[in-house]
Amino acid sequence: MTLRSLADEHVAHAVVTGLRRRGVTVATISDVGLLGASDDELLQFAQREGYVIATQDQDFLRLAARVDQHAGIAYAPQGRAVGDLVRWLSLLAQISGPDEMRGRVEYL
């Protein structure tokens, strides 16, 4: 099964565009109708629908430590270059599947 990512509002749209050009399956929170949703709601949605959350929001690191299960989080600190994020998230999609990411936080 292919890894699917959900980019939160902290990830630049240029990253999403770059990932899509590389054939990576990625949705934005706007695409799934969750713009303005709380981080808890996003994490629950991602778990239910099998999306790894791609984020630059440290709050997801605290959430991941608190919850029993999540579909995975790909975290990059603010200030990371768009090209770097595209490369790292593309690589993650190539080498990891949903089962490998379940419950895991990947630092980019």
**Residue 35: predicted pLDDT:** 93
Higher pLDDT, 1 or 34: 34
Domain that holds residue 87: 4-107
pLDDT of residue 1 exceeding 90, the answer is: no
| CATH code of residue 28 | 3.40.50
> Tens of pLDDT along 8-55?
999 999 999 999 999 999 999 999 999 999 999 999 999 999 999 999
Contacts 24+ apart (CB under 8 A), 18-23: 18/82, 18/83, 18/85, 18/86, 19/86, 19/89, 19/90, 19/93, 22/86, 22/90
pTM for the full predicted model: 0.94
**Residue 95: predicted pLDDT:** 95
pLDDT band at 105 (very low <50, low <70, confident <90, very high): very high
**Residue 36: predicted pLDDT:** 92
**Residue 59: predicted pLDDT:** 95
Number of domains observed in the structure of the chain: 1
